[in-house]
Structure 1
Amino acid sequence: MKKERPVLDEQEWELIDLALYHSMADHEPVTIKLFDLYKEVLYKGIVMQVDRKLKRIKLRWSDDDWDWIEMSEIIAATY
């Protein structure tokens, strides 16, 4: 079943921002939920960098594996 992208309000964005900040500051894992039309997509890792200009975060899964995640794809984050 196809899902619709949720519309996040200011408070939800603040919670996401806070979780990303704590992950980066404390070097602790954060769980990020990304929007997908058909399934739940969760990633767990440590935020290494937030690029506000390009609106993306660098999420590290392991010592030598990381990826850039587009902020627009994030619909939830828990620290």
Structure 2
Amino acid sequence: MASKLSGNGIYEGSRIILPEHREAYLNEMNVQERRGKPILDDQEVQLIEELIMESYKECRSVTLTVFNPFDDEEIRGVVASIDRPNRRIKLVRGEEDYSWIKIEEIAEASL
């Protein structure tokens, strides 16, 4: 009996991970992998807004890199409308495929 109690022996033989504990551990690891939102200077913000306006006026396709805490997403489409009070744009990617994107969430834009 003394050998089980010495050198962490009592815990070595009883390693059990409950599904709830495993899920909580994995969720905590995901939270720790999050990235912070990049801070854009005024020139970059102005360039992004100019490309959005150019896409809107000329119906040209634009590629936007949208910030995500885990992995940035590149979306290509044409700006169909601009919602100035809410600072978001409607980006149309196909016939009926569109998404509303907040301007603050755009990290990069290119034509």
Shared topology, TM-score over 0.5? yes
Which is richer in helix? 2
CA RMSD of aligned residues (A): 1.1
Could you state the TM-score of these two structures normalised by the residue count of structure 2? 0.67
Match of 2:51 in 1: 19
- Larger Rg over CA atoms: 2
Which is richer in strand? 1
Deviations 1:10-64 (A, max 9, x none): 1001110111011111111100111111112110000011111011000000122
Match of 2:100 in 1: 68
Instruction: Give the fraction of aligned pairs with identical amino acids, expressed as a percent.
Output: 32
Aligned counterpart in structure 1 of residue 63 of structure 2, from 31, 34, 38: 31
5+ residue gaps, structure 2, are 1-32
Counting matched residue pairs gives 79
Structure 1: 4+ residue segments shifted above 4 A: none
5+ residue gaps, structure 1, are none
Match of 2:87 in 1: 55
Report which structure shows greater RCO (CA 8 Å, sep ≥6): 1
Could you state the TM-score of these two structures normalised by the residue count of structure 1? 0.91
